[in-house]
Structure 1
Amino acid sequence: MKVKNKYVNRSRIPEKKFREIIKYFSLDLNAVQIKELTGLSRQTINKYLTAIRLRVVELSILQSAPLVGQIEVDESYFGARRVRGKRGRGALGETIVFGLLKRGGKVYTEIVPNCKSTTLQRIIKGKTSIEKRHSF
């Protein structure tokens, strides 16, 4: 008996059960909780959760490649509305988000504690290639 599962080669569980495991994984449930909800054994759940985690790591490594080419940088403030009397940068209760955009490509964002040049330059050096760097 061959079970069809387009996500896992030679899988012994149906595609529907695998999608359930993915759903519960994304809800951050542990193996015992997923076992109770799906009716599969804990060993089976652990096998698939390990495979999912390894794939997430693999994709994260691919995504973390440095940005190359023309890159734009900017910071934005998100959160609370402007408080009367407090203007400009650092209005109370706002979250600072720093972003790098590769023209026609990927975007990298990071929440930063402040907009000091040392903080931002550390991020830029860590996320861009070292080929050419221009400051304008």
Structure 2
Amino acid sequence: MKNKFLKGAHLSERKFKEILKLFSEDLTATQIANISGVSRVTINSYLKKIRLQIVKYCESLQPESSTTGSSWVHRGHPLSNGHDATVAVKTDVDRIIKPVIFGIYKLDNKVFTEILPDVSRSMIQAISRGRSVLETVGSAERIRRFNGVVDLGQYRLYHLGNHHHDPDAGKSTLDDVDGFWGLTKHRLAKFKGLNRNTAYLHLKECEFRYNYRNEDLYNVLLNLLKTFPLNLS
């Protein structure tokens, strides 16, 4: 069955567009399955492939200097030691596992994010208070270049300052960091916990949704998948 968006699919292009439209409206996999009449297993498979393509696209826009050693999926770093641990996003369970920590920064009117696997909770708490006692100088410098850092275990955003001399530019950056975290917090809360192996996919999806929030996301996704079709094989 020919489908220019999904190679090797046993699903019509019309049905796939319906699924993509529902995804762009930010419905859950269960809701999409119920509306489309496609099985939940199949929907989950398609959504994962869509998110992986979004990750590749977001990473292609990200400055090369910022991705060194930070992207768990793209660089092949394991999210967990082979286990499907759940990333806690509620404070009452934030000590179950090592939290996911990521940085946020703004460049050229876009917001970018990076997972920081070598940054600890104590480090971001120290630097947010202006303290210089950190585990490593290198990690400290990495943290300082972000406008904000989020500890998903505590579900908390730490503002680190943006180093702008222009007050208007500084306020714009702060607004975008807060706006992005607001969207991300709302989206991740509905999962009530994330698998560590998919946390990066959801983070980049939030980045994508925020950067294209003023556009028709469905058309943006159609153009992306027309250029870079999904492949079931």
Question: TM-score, length-normalised on structure 1?
Answer: 0.50
Listed as ranges, the matches of 1:19-30 within 5 Å are 19-30=17-28
Q: Deviations over 1:61-115 (max 9, x none)?
A: 0011269xxxxxxxxxxxxxxxxxxxxxxxxxxxxxxx86xxxxxxx21588888
| Structure 2 counterpart of 1:16, from 10, 14, 17 | 14
| Structure 2 counterpart of 1:36, from 17, 22, 34 | 34
1:64 equivalent to 2:37? Answer no
Quickly say closer, same or farther: Cα 1:60–1:9, change in 2 above 3 A. same
Report the Cα distance in structure 1 between the residues aligned to 2:165 and 2:64, rounded to whole angstroms.
20
Identify the structure with the greater strand proportion.
1
Identify the structure with the greater helix proportion.
2
Q: Which is higher, the Rg of structure 1 or of structure 2?
A: 1
Alignment gaps of 5+ in structure 2 = 66-105, 112-146, 148-160, 174-233
Counterpart position of 1:53:
51
Report the Cα distance in structure 2 between the residues aligned to 1:61 and 1:49, rounded to whole angstroms.
18
Report the Cα distance in structure 1 between the residues aligned to 2:163 and 2:13, rounded to whole angstroms.
47
Q: What's the % identity of the aligned pairs?
A: 37
Moved over 3 A (4+): 110-116, 118-121
Give the number of aligned pairs: 82
The answer to which structure, 1 or 2, has the higher relative contact order (CA under 8 A, 6+ apart) is 2
Report the Cα distance in structure 2 between the residues aligned to 1:114 and 1:50, rounded to whole angstroms.
34
User: What secondary structure is seen at the aligned counterpart in 1 of 2:7?
Assistant: coil
Report the Cα distance in structure 2 between the residues aligned to 1:115 and 1:17, rounded to whole angstroms.
48
Report the Cα distance in structure 2 between the residues aligned to 1:47 and 1:32, rounded to whole angstroms.
12
**Which letter does structure 2 place at the counterpart of 1:117?**
H
Q: Deviations over 1:14-67 (max 9, x none)?
A: 001111111111101001100111100000100000000000000000011269
User: What secondary structure is seen at the aligned counterpart in 2 of 1:58?
Assistant: helix
Quickly say closer, same or farther: Cα 1:110–1:8, change in 2 above 3 A. closer
Report the Cα distance in structure 2 between the residues aligned to 1:66 and 1:35, rounded to whole angstroms.
38
**Which letter does structure 2 place at the counterpart of 1:109?**
N
User: What secondary structure is seen at the aligned counterpart in 2 of 1:117?
Assistant: coil
